Amino acid sequence: MSKVNADIGEITCAWCNSVVPVRKNRNSKLYVACSHCGQQPLNAQGGQEIILERATIYGADVKQTPVQPKKSPVPTQTIETPPPEKPRESSGFSFLDM
């Protein structure tokens, strides 16, 4: 088998539910090679992402970086004081000044 069509991983076939190989074609696109259902090329970007999400790729090292949770800073409590009330100016109309 040539290097281009070598098995690079495995995936569960969506139609027959058996574990089948994942291969790469000469254009470096992934495809599912099921012996029961035939070759399933998922050449569009969405299809390539589906294969990568669902397949187990041989020799792929997954880097796991431990993440330490960070505490959020404790907010300081501020007390807002209302501005001093301004004295009202007389409008000249007694019914408006109430």
User: And the tokens for 11?
Assistant: 């995936």
Phi, psi of 65 (to 5 degrees): -110, 120
* pLDDT per residue as tens digits for the range 34-66: 888 888 878 777 888 888 888 998 876 655 667
For the chain, which domains are there? 7-57 (2.20.25)
Is 3's pLDDT higher than 70?
no
Angle CA 28–26–57, to nearest 5: 45
User: And the tokens for 34?
Assistant: 């099921």
Confidence of residue 9 (pLDDT cuts 50, 70, 90): very high
Q: Under a CB-based contact definition with an 8 Å cutoff, are residues 67 and 27 in contact?
A: no
Is 19's pLDDT higher than 90?
yes
Which position has the higher pLDDT, 5 or 64?
Answer: 5
Which position has the higher pLDDT, 9 or 14?
Answer: 9
Q: Under a CB-based contact definition with an 8 Å cutoff, are residues 47 and 55 in contact?
A: no
User: And the tokens for 35?
Assistant: 């012996």
